[in-house]
Amino acid sequence: MRKIILFCFTMTVLFSMHVSGQNLAVTGVVSAEDGSILPGVSITVKGTTRGTTTDENGKYSIDVPGNVSLSFSFIGFQTQEIAVSGQSVINITLKNDISQLNEVVVTAQGIQREKRSLGYAVSEIKGDVVNKVPEQNFVNSLNGKVSGVQVTSGGAPGQAARITIRGGAKSISGDNQPLFVIDGIPVSNDNDGSGAANEVSGAATPNRVGDINPNDIESISVLKGSAASVLYGNRGSNGVVLITTKSGKGTKGKPVITVNSNIGIDNALRLPSYQTKFAQGNRGAYLEGTSLSWGPEITGQQVTSAAAGGTTNLTVHDPRADFLKTGVTINNNVSISQTLEKTTFYVSVGQNKQTAIVPNQGYSKANFRTNVTTNLSDKITAGINVGYTKSNGDVPYLGQDGNNPFFSLFHVPVSWDLNGYGYQNPTTGRQINFRGGAFDNPLWTVNKTYFNTKNDHFIGGLNFAYTPTSWLNFTYRLGMDQYTDNRQSFRDIYTGGNPNGYLSNDIVSRQQITSTFVANLSHSFNDDFSGTLSIGHDYNQRKYDRNAQTATMLALPGIAHMNNATAFDPDYEYHSKRNLIGTFADLRLDYRNYLFLGVTVRNEWSSTLPQANRSFLYPGVNASFVFTEAFNINPDVLNFGKVRLSWAKTARDTDPYRLQSTYILASATDGFTDGVTFPYIGLPGYMVNSTVNNPNLKPEFTREVEAGVELKFFKNRLGVDFTYFNNRNTDGIISLDVAPSTGASSLIVNSGRTTNKGIEVGLDFQAIKTKDFNWNVGVVYSRIRTEVNELYGDLDKLYLGGFSGNPAIYAVKGERYGSIIGAGYKRTNINGVPNPNGAISTDADGYPLLEDGLILGHIEPNWTGGITNTFTYKGIRLSALFDTRQGGHIFSGTSQLLDNYGVSDRTLDRGTNIVFDGVDEETGVKNDVSAVKDQDWYGYVSGSNAEAHVYKNNWVKLREANLSYTFNIKRSILQSIDLGVYGRNLALWTKVPDIDPESSSFGSGNGQGASRMAYPSTRSLGVNVKLTF
């Protein structure tokens, strides 16, 4: 990798060595007709790539070669050209362009289009919006800023973020996350989880898109629907996130050097509420070695304690405060960019280091990026884009995994002196634990176990453009995305779930190579009618390799080396390779710049499908009509109006090696011994995989209709973007459980149908706009509903994910996607007849009755939204983002366990009587039997009853806040200083107890909607300094 970095740096220097002639320095101020200054105006030397932009005060400076013309352009204003003619100061007032909005956005395959011409929804976010508040994983920064986009993650450093677009259920059981494309190169967003895909276990491994340095991002375009993403084929079937990194354009003249540093502190946003009255124990008696806090009231009494080495007086401790600490996040980034006569370049290096709120855990990464573009001639342009990230972290385990420190920490009794008792017996080396079983003392977990990940991630590409004539252009792009993740998992001897110790070395590697060729033709038939045609071909190859060696017994404690192992599992080795070939065409017709028609078609050949179904074609059509221009509507109120309509069909192939039977290492048991696992005494042995593959698989298909309207009022002061979409997903590729008598465990089939529809609204409003003060408001809103229409034959539900016990998440026929199914209150009498008004049945002891297999709620929200307020006064900027989720449900396994163990403050009413509101199962008479709320009550009503802990997943969060001031220093090497303070996840309002309902126990899988002992989300506060030279 060092050689690659050195090569890239050398290429940057060589590309940048151009000799400039005698230049004239031109400065000035750009303002609007109302006198307000205009930051971000693009100023270019006509006929060249040389240019710059105005700063926050509307000022600019540019060196020009002799008598040339300068072009001034800005969205919403008319482009104006002025001849320099020896002038050293040029101040200009731009005129409003209320007749048209010529905003250009990046669409599929890197094709740039005027936004007014698009017949589908595209949302674009600038890099400075993403980076207002520092975030290690930029994906988390999209929350509340783009309608239809939902991001979930946990609070662990480096933890994967799950992102979905428009509900995220186009595939019933497949991957529902979008494709990420960086500078035209498709990249992997895998996190290669260490646990079962649908279970709450394994380590919080990062998703690889999170390796990107947020400071390098120029803009992000989100292609939401099928019509927008069809050119990317089946990889873009869940939407596409296009990331454009900085290029150095607009920095003509002297190089621009930017130094950006910030430091922040992190603390748990929300922790469970605990009772501080009762000690560890069972049925009122003090007892160590148990998770239960159903012991005596703490009054300072003396008790026998093995942990204390004799006797001790019971006192109240705070194990959570004793264990958790303040995390620290430090970011440093330096970049240099410049535009020369024929070349632009951008080079950056960055470092991010985050220590966790948990001892001995954290995550760090170092980034390097170089982007260079040069004009080899008047007709040929070449570019190179290279990004490299080296990351390293000790990351936590998730959910109910025995190595998750929060699983034990959250139910440590308040009578246990966590730090005082310690975690290891100094004489025997054995663990000191408040409980027995597989779950450890949390201090043992963070000191004697770890999961370490070391990753090298390279993303690079070459691109060429040849423009032989004004109407013809050819582009070619070759890109590679490659990473290798070296992981080591260690659990010392005497660890609860691995008393003999455990060590695993796991190497995960992915490589993706993409080659894309596009020919672009344009033609004006007359003054009214013109068109463009893009035709292309792409090839994508993806390789996946994984090798693991696992030791299940260690000879000596504390030594994490395979030479210390005395027993091993069979080595694990897996390799896969898949190819995808596509051809595509995109035709755009333009009538008088207000009526647009687009027709798109793509055909693909996938190596993972059988030959008969390997080739599949899907088309798309879209149209837009700018009616304000067509009908010459008075622009005083409505100055821009557009309607759009699209229809498209997309497809999705399957994973490799799902067509024919595969073989795995054989093993056999007899019920009396440990059995035999091959290879045995040097002899290999294999058996057919228990999954029955399908040689007749065909692709999944999605058909989507989308309609929308875009409006601009009051000279672009108010903008409204409304979208309606409806898609139908068929032929889902799913895995079905089959009867053990068949000799198999599962069967791969094409089946399943879902519908997904909803609305998206975006609102931009300049509430106040004066020369010195501005107040801008941005609002996003989404309302989405996904229904499961069909599964397979008589199958009525399909498992998506869940805990090892009650409850689990299913796709249920006739229900909204993601049903929470588990034990809940019985609402029928002894004969199975429903009780009047849904009353709950009770038994003779006054206890409510329970039954299994009930639908307790659905994970999909009714609506989500966000509102951003931005205030600017001269150099002062203040912004705040609130976002919300309303509707849907979440199961809190954390609350369930804390009640069952007697740890939560809800159990302070222990010993009181309750007459449960229900009816007798046999007589139907209202219950009047009193029951005692004791250990048995909570163990039954809470511990066995999932319904008691299914909550409406409503919340509002102050997601971001930022206050900064810019000092402009124009007469020195230092051009500006930007000082700021920021906060993330500052406040949460919800009725869901104990947890942040946004935090995930499931990583990036489909089985969302449940949380059990999840890593808490964190509140961050920090300061930021940015220097521009």
Residue 543, pLDDT score: 97
pTM: 0.88
Exposure of 74 by Cβ count < 10 A (0-12 exposed, 13-18 middle, 19+ buried)? buried
Residue 199, pLDDT score: 44
The residue type of 787 is E
* d(C-alpha 196, C-alpha 750), whole Å: 23
Are the C-beta atoms of residues 89 and 279 closer than 8 Å to each other?
Answer: no
Q: Which of 976, 1007, 1011, 979 is nearest to 992 (CA)?
A: 1011
Which domains does the chain possess?
2-97 (2.60.40.1120), 122-267+327-403+440-659+694-818+861-888+956-1028 (2.40.170.20), 819-858+891-952 (no CATH)
Q: Please state, as a whole number, how many other Cβ atoms lie within 10 Å of the Cβ of residue 751.
A: 17
704 bridge partner residues: 648, 727
Range with the lowest mean pLDDT among 195-209, 669-683, 738-752, 944-958?
195-209
Residue 801, pLDDT score: 81
Range with the lowest mean pLDDT among 667-681, 850-864, 901-915?
667-681
702 bridge partner residues: 650, 729
Q: Which of 23, 43, 66 is nearest to 250 (CA)?
A: 43
Q: Which residues contact 631 (CB under 8 A, 6 or more apart)?
A: none
Residue 99, pLDDT score: 45
Are the C-beta atoms of residues 433 and 445 closer than 8 Å to each other?
Answer: no
Q: How many helices (H) and strands (E) does the chain have?
A: 10, 61
User: Considering the chain, what is the average pLDDT of its residues?
Assistant: 89
User: pLDDT at residue 458 above 90?
Assistant: yes
Residue 627, pLDDT score: 95
Q: State mean pLDDT over 868-890.
A: 95
Residue found by looking up tokens 């290879």 in the block: 679
Residue 184, pLDDT score: 92
Residue 201, pLDDT score: 56
User: pLDDT at residue 847 above 90?
Assistant: yes
Most confident of 26-40, 388-402, 444-458: 444-458
User: pLDDT at residue 60 above 90?
Assistant: no
Instruction: Say if strands 122-126 and 162-165 run parallel, antiparallel, or are unpaired.
Output: unpaired
Q: Which of 625, 540, 522 is nearest to 583 (CA)?
A: 540
* d(C-alpha 535, C-alpha 248), whole Å: 29
Classified as helix, coil or strand, 413 is coil
> Among the residues of 280-334, which ranges form H helices?
319-323
Residue 8, pLDDT score: 47
Q: Residue 104 corresponds to which tokens in the numbers above?
A: 């250009």
CA-CA-CA-CA torsion sign (5, 7, 9, 15): negative
User: pLDDT at residue 7 above 50?
Assistant: no
Residue 34, pLDDT score: 65
Q: What confidence category does residue 1001 fall into, taking pLDDT thresholds of 50, 70 and 90?
A: low
Residue 10, pLDDT score: 46
Q: Please state, as a whole number, how many other Cβ atoms lie within 10 Å of the Cβ of residue 842.
A: 26
pLDDT digits (tens, 9 = 90+) for 223-236: 998 998 888 988 98
Rg of the chain in Å (alpha carbons):
31
User: pLDDT at residue 320 above 70?
Assistant: yes
Q: Which residues contact 916 (CB under 8 A, 6 or more apart)?
A: 840, 842, 846, 847, 848, 927, 931
pLDDT digits (tens, 9 = 90+) for 266-303: 999 999 999 999 999 999 999 999 999 999 999 999 99
Q: Report how far Cα 21 is from the mean position of its chain's Cα atoms.
A: 48
* d(C-alpha 798, C-alpha 795), whole Å: 8
Q: Which of 626, 620, 619 is nearest to 603 (CA)?
A: 619
Give percent of the chain with pLDDT exceeding 90. 67
Higher pLDDT, 293 or 803: 293
Q: Report how far Cα 291 is from the mean position of its chain's Cα atoms.
A: 35
Q: What confidence category does residue 14 fall into, taking pLDDT thresholds of 50, 70 and 90?
A: very low
Q: Which of 279, 4, 192, 77 is nearest to 716 (CA)?
A: 77
Q: Please state, as a whole number, how many other Cβ atoms lie within 10 Å of the Cβ of residue 527.
A: 7
Q: What confidence category does residue 653 fall into, taking pLDDT thresholds of 50, 70 and 90?
A: very high
Q: State mean pLDDT over 920-932.
A: 96
Range with the lowest mean pLDDT among 158-162, 280-284, 554-558, 681-685?
681-685
Residue found by looking up tokens 């101040």 in the block: 91
* d(C-alpha 376, C-alpha 838), whole Å: 77
Residue found by looking up tokens 């999840």 in the block: 1014
Residue 1003, pLDDT score: 58
User: pLDDT at residue 195 above 90?
Assistant: no
User: pLDDT at residue 108 above 80?
Assistant: no
User: pLDDT at residue 476 above 90?
Assistant: yes
Residue 17, pLDDT score: 41
Range with the lowest mean pLDDT among 125-139, 368-382, 780-794?
125-139
User: pLDDT at residue 79 above 50?
Assistant: yes
Read off φ and ψ for residue 521, nearest 5 degrees.
-120, 140
E strands of 948-997, at which residues?
A: 950-952, 955-968, 976-990
Q: Which of 981, 764, 713 is nearest to 867 (CA)?
A: 764
Give percent of the chain with pLDDT exceeding 70. 93
Q: What confidence category does residue 131 fall into, taking pLDDT thresholds of 50, 70 and 90?
A: confident
Residue 493, pLDDT score: 97
Read off φ and ψ for residue 648, nearest 5 degrees.
-155, 160
